[in-house]
Amino acid sequence: MAEPQFYVPSRCYTAGEVATLAGAVLADEAYAGNEISNLAAAEHGGPGTLVYVEKGRHAKLLGGLIAAAVLCPAELAARVPAGIAALTTSSPALAFAQIARVLCPAAASPQAVTGETGISPAAHIAADALIEAGAIVEAGAVIGAGAAIGRGTIVGPGAVIGPGCQIGRDGYVGASTSILASLIGDRVIIHTGARIGQDGFRFMPSARGLVKMPQLGRVVIQDDVEIGANTTIDRGALSDTLIGEGTKIDNLVQLGHNVRIGRHCAIAAHVGISGSVVIGDFVMMGGLVGVADHVKIGDGVHIAAASGVMHDIPAGQKWAGLPAQPAKDWFREVNMIRKLAGNKSRKGSGDV
């Protein structure tokens, strides 16, 4: 049995076509007819592939490159080996992402597992749920009373949408996902197994043990958000948990109740954000970061992987460490300790 490939171009393209589609400049017209039949990473290129190469360390891959065409910055075009079409652009990775969508249209957005269209007869849908025409609801999905699903949205096999939840258009709710008490915008991608809208974690000591604070709020997710597999986002306690437009969240992330994340943030895997934390726009967090409850993080902050944030962070700063502090301070401590202990300092320890 042949090994399946999951996304390959639907047909061959020439380097000239790709240059046009990507808005790139073909450095040498002699290679306009180079045929592109597949996409590859530069380190795994081969005959017929389109690859991309960025400035910096990545550029050294040009030496041994095998490909039909390469998207690269203009200043690297002279280093592209003979026979390969150089397609120059200021943002090779961005151009590659764009062209991959054109060559492999199925890769541009998540697909239904079953290939079913419309509402599967094996889905379980409340009589008063509103499923807009053009939505797909796959086998085993369960949709509660009064829920609403917009057109073009895929609800995957076994996904559960609680009563009253609203999900916008052209979205994706992966297999086995559960969504409760949530309002979700358009073009939101929620990967398999994510848990959204369950109760937050607040218990108060009493003579009879821990007493639960009822969790009455919602989760509000704005347009163009992406949420990773098995990530958990708790409903608000009294107000709402909020994820701003365009923010991307990786797998296995925990967002506590009332957390408010701004727009266009990127939050890596295993991050844990405690209750009522407020995060600005364009914030980036590495993996395994923890943030203590009620902390405020300003716009554009970068937090290095595995940091433990116990204090507010002003806009624009880079922080790192446990407990977290400005990254350059933390790396100064790391290097000081290494020197004091007679240990070897390591190149790159000053990067975030």
In the numeric block, which tokens belong to residue 307? 């940091």
Q: Does 77 engage in binding with a second copy (CB under 8 A)?
A: no
Q: Which of residues 249-268 bind a second copy (CB under 8 A)?
A: 250-252, 254, 256, 258, 263-264, 266, 268
81 and 71 Cβ atoms separated by less than 8 Å = no
Q: Which of residues 332-351 bind a second copy (CB under 8 A)?
A: 332-334, 336-338, 340-344, 346-349, 351
Q: CA 319, CA 297: separation in Å to the nearest integer?
A: 11
Q: Which of residues 153-182 bind a second copy (CB under 8 A)?
A: 156-158, 160, 162-166, 174-178, 180-181
Q: Is 44 a catalytic residue?
A: no
Q: Which of 108, 151, 314, 316 binds a second copy (CB under 8 A)?
A: 108
What's the closest the beta carbon of residue 311 comes to a second copy, in angstroms? 6
Q: Does 21 engage in binding with a second copy (CB under 8 A)?
A: no
Closer of 17 and 116 to a second copy (Cβ): 116
Q: Does 124 engage in binding with a second copy (CB under 8 A)?
A: yes
Q: CA 92, CA 45: separation in Å to the nearest integer?
A: 16
Per-residue 3-state assignment (H helix, E strand, C coil) for 231-299 = CEECCCCCCCEEECCCCEECCCCEECCCCEECCCCEECCCCEECCCCEECCCCEECCCCEECCCCEECC
Tokens 């998540």 belong to residue: 110
Q: Does 323 engage in binding with a second copy (CB under 8 A)?
A: yes
What's the closest the beta carbon of residue 118 comes to a second copy, in angstroms? 15
What's the closest the beta carbon of residue 319 comes to a second copy, in angstroms? 11
Amino acid code (one letter) for 28: D
Q: How far apart, in Å, are the Cα atoms of 138 and each of 46, 112, 179, 259?
A: 38, 7, 16, 31
The sign of the CA dihedral 65, 70, 76, 80 is: positive
What's the closest the beta carbon of residue 133 comes to a second copy, in angstroms? 16
Q: Supply φ then ψ for residue 129, to 5 degrees.
A: -70, 150
Q: How far apart, in Å, are the Cα atoms of 261 and each of 222, 230, 275, 290, 302?
A: 10, 19, 12, 15, 14
Q: Does 29 engage in binding with a second copy (CB under 8 A)?
A: no
Q: Which of residues 201-230 bind a second copy (CB under 8 A)?
A: 201, 203-204, 206, 209-218, 224, 226, 228-230
Q: Does 315 engage in binding with a second copy (CB under 8 A)?
A: no
Closer of 55 and 124 to a second copy (Cβ): 124
Closer of 30 and 93 to a second copy (Cβ): 93
Shortest CA distance to 276 belongs to which of 232, 250, 311, 241? 241
Q: Which of 107, 186, 317, 318 binds a second copy (CB under 8 A)?
A: 107
Residues assigned a catalytic role: 257
